[in-house]
Amino acid sequence: MSEIDSRYDRLARFYKIGKIGVKAFNRANVVILGCGALGSQHAETLARAGFGRLTLIDRDFVERSNLQRQTLFTEDDAENATPKVIALQKHLAKINCDIEVTPHIVDVSSDNIEALIAGHDLLLDGTDNLALRMLINDACYKQGIPWIFGSALESYGMSYNFNFDSDPESSTSLERRDIRSNHQAAPCLRCLLQTLPLESHDTCSSVGVIQPILQMISSIQTTEAMKYFADREAVRETLFSIDLWDFHPQNISLHRLKDPECLTCGPNPTYPALHQKKREAERLCGDGSVMIREVAPLNLKQLKNRLDQRHIDSQYNEYFLNIHLPSHRVILFADGRGIVYGVIDTEEALQLYNRVVAF
């Protein structure tokens, strides 16, 4: 074990991984998109396993309501409203100081996703909405990056591997492949949407979620990530789903659902999600809040000065501007995003956002 850090001794002793697998983990470059309930657990597991480079991408900051299910975050993180990727970076440094962790506090969109994920070996999904997963799907297929889907709500969860090599014998290196000539039998996410209900109108704020299902799905996703680097032939080719409360696991082959003319994984891809550029307003997985995305960035320091002149209470730091209106709270980010609290209607939230940035 002289050539392997002693911290990975037990990992290397597992014959499916061995010393070669540990070294592959050390060289791996993985992006985790979404660093909440699933993504925070992805990050901890991969950091402890010695995955050499982790890129963390998330737009949100830690709130008290996160602490029930989002591991590694602390009450101090919530009290200070620390951005999730910054909190994770800080905690991961105390777990494994030898790995490289790069945080991005950003709202992922068609404008930036390709640049954010370029050059990575694998993407782990930690998101909670279909629109963002469609962006992931199109960007990963365009760049030839495999990605591992995961979703959980109440006590039910599922996971699937997208854009993995169909022939394990041809997957002995991590070199990029031209997916336009890769005639995989497996479907992409766009193929599946024609048949499978992969998105629910429910959210964790409306129906709740228990942490064990999040731990289960994260464990499935991170195990598949380990297989990808250490034992490619063992990678799962089925949709895994389970209801933990009733303990009803299933493995289902989805190959028959592949669309031969798919605009993402077919012979003439156009990657439609990457061409959608528009202002968006969406209800968040929380009580009474709406997130607004604007293409134009904001000068938060100048806005803070204008608010002070109007005697409007606000707090400014390097991450965001927190504004207290008589009946609402608005948080603005430098990239143009805003979160409006105390509203449910997206149009009302847009009006409040426009009012605040016009001060």
Active site residues: 204
- b/e per residue 137-163 (b: at least 16 CB within 10 A): bbbbbbbebbbbbbbbbbbbbbbbbbb
Which amino acid is located at 161 in the chain? Answer: N
Output the CA torsion sign for 286, 282, 163, 19.
Answer: negative
Tell the residue number behind the tokens 């400014």, with chain if given: 316
Quick one: CA dihedral 22, 23, 24, 27, positive or negative? positive
Q: Which residues is 239 bridged to in the sheet? A: 252
Q: Which residues face 54 on adjacent strands? A: 30, 101
Cα distance between residue 151 and residue 288, in whole Å: 22
Query: CB neighbours of 116 closer than 8 A, spacing ≥ 6?
Result: 31, 33, 55, 57, 104, 106, 108
Which secondary structure element, helix H or strand E, spans residue 154, and what is its range? none
Q: Are 245 and 252 in contact (CB under 8 A)?
A: no
- Distance CA(243)–CA(321), nearest Å, equals 40
